[in-house]
Amino acid sequence: MAASTFLFEHAYLPEGWQCNVAVRLQDGMITSVGGPSEGAMRVKGAALPGLPNLHSHTFQRGMAGLAERRGPSGDSFWTWREVMYRFLDKLTPDAVEAIAAMAMVEMLEAGFTSLAEFHYLHHAPDGRPYADIAELAGRIVVAAGETGIGLTLLPVFYAHGGFGGQPAQPGQRRFISADIDAYRALRDAAGKAIRGLAGAVLGAAPHSLRAVTPEQLSAFRDAVPDGPIHIHIAEQMREVDECLAWCGERPVQWLLNHAPVDQRWCLIHATHMLPEEIAGVVRSGAVAGLCPITEANLGDGVFAGVDFTRQGGLYGVGSDSNVEISASGELRLFEYSQRLWHRGRNMLAEKQGASTGEALYRAALAGGAQALAQPVSAIAAGKRADFVVLDTDHAAFACGGPAHWLDAYLFNAGNRAIDRVMVGGVTLVEGGYHLKRQAVAARFAQCMAKLA
């Protein structure tokens, strides 16, 4: 990619909002910010660094809305999971790719410019591996290449159906790697699949403490010497109770005591933690991966955001089940959950007079970038040129100047304020719509008609 320069009318830099900001790029990376702007492409509006999406299962975008019927004995995460198992039994590789592309288009339109895909759908519907054991991981890579989103691919190690090595359930057969050698082969094949995708990162994920034994987790760490590590943990109280029954420790407590949790790790959900567990996660430097819309949809509970952030904890947000895709919506619901829990307002603002929107966005940039191991946390030299440009002519921005723009975006306009989105300096969204939306949406509609 040739060198280029953008002149943003307004841009949110590490030091705050600035006017008429020249940003120079080379091969999709920012080489300098400020200085002369001769020959620059002018961009109207207010540019933000694109937000990382640190947790998604793209295939679940295809079942959004299908689990909103009450069952005979009351519903929970566990009954939702049965709906998910039935849905994925129908998914072909073509369907996985079509659904992933639709989800990624919507992510880009909604302010997410990079994605950590927690990929555990590996095998054919009968549980047998495809001829290419990374067939479905490859379909995620193809969808990312088509839509342009930045990708961190996390092939998932999933071996068991419950704590202590319980047998997998029939509905989990598409996820299972029999042992660490089978998983290593799967991950190696996924690594080959992403080699042609610029900027892609390969990480890894033990699905949960329910899905791997302690011995397997130890072998997993030896098999994955570098790259980010993500794990589902302490999402549901039933999970906490079953972990206590198995080993006498809570999930986060067990992980901190038995694994070298550090800055490579992202603990997805971590909803149910005691104060000493919160302190331990903060000390470790791991990121808490929050998915407030999905956590609300599934009835998980409320993350202890105020205690966690006041101790210096790192967090980012993800779209998880993709029942609704919105970067601003995830941050807004995170703040609102704390308001409901503590019966107060502006709970996650850093100090008196500080902007809550700015505190949320800055934190999610830093935590998301660490969790994805991607250079995407700021508009600054050495970072990838990922930008979300807000339409400052939107009515939400009429009542205040730049100091209020992030609040107006997160708490008022949301997705409607997004005009342009760029990844690696390439424009993917204009006027609020992805340039390939029409073709991707048509393929998605055909896919869903077949599944129905």
Find tokens 């072909």 and name the residue.
92
Q: By C-alpha distance, which of 420, 410, 400 is closest to 359?
A: 410
Residue 212 CA to residue 220 CA, distance in Å, equals: 9
> With contact defined as beta carbons under 8 Å apart, do 378 and 366 qualify?
no
In the residue annotation, 119 being an active-site residue is answered as: no
Catalytic residue among 122, 207, 320, 419: 320
Residue 26 burial class via C-beta count within 10 angstroms: exposed 0-12, middle 13-18, buried 19 and up: middle
In the residue annotation, 320 being an active-site residue is answered as: yes
> With contact defined as beta carbons under 8 Å apart, do 234 and 270 qualify?
yes
Catalytic residue among 230, 269, 272, 434: 269
34 Rama sector, left if φ>0, alpha if ψ -120 to 50, beta otherwise: left
Residue 210 CA to residue 206 CA, distance in Å, equals: 10
Residue 194 CA to residue 201 CA, distance in Å, equals: 8
Token pair in block for residue 324: 């609704």
Token pair in block for residue 255: 């992980």
Q: By C-alpha distance, which of 417, 359, 428 is closest to 387?
A: 428
> With contact defined as beta carbons under 8 Å apart, do 385 and 424 qualify?
yes
* Backbone phi, psi, residue 401, to 5°: -85, -165
Catalytic residue set: 269, 320
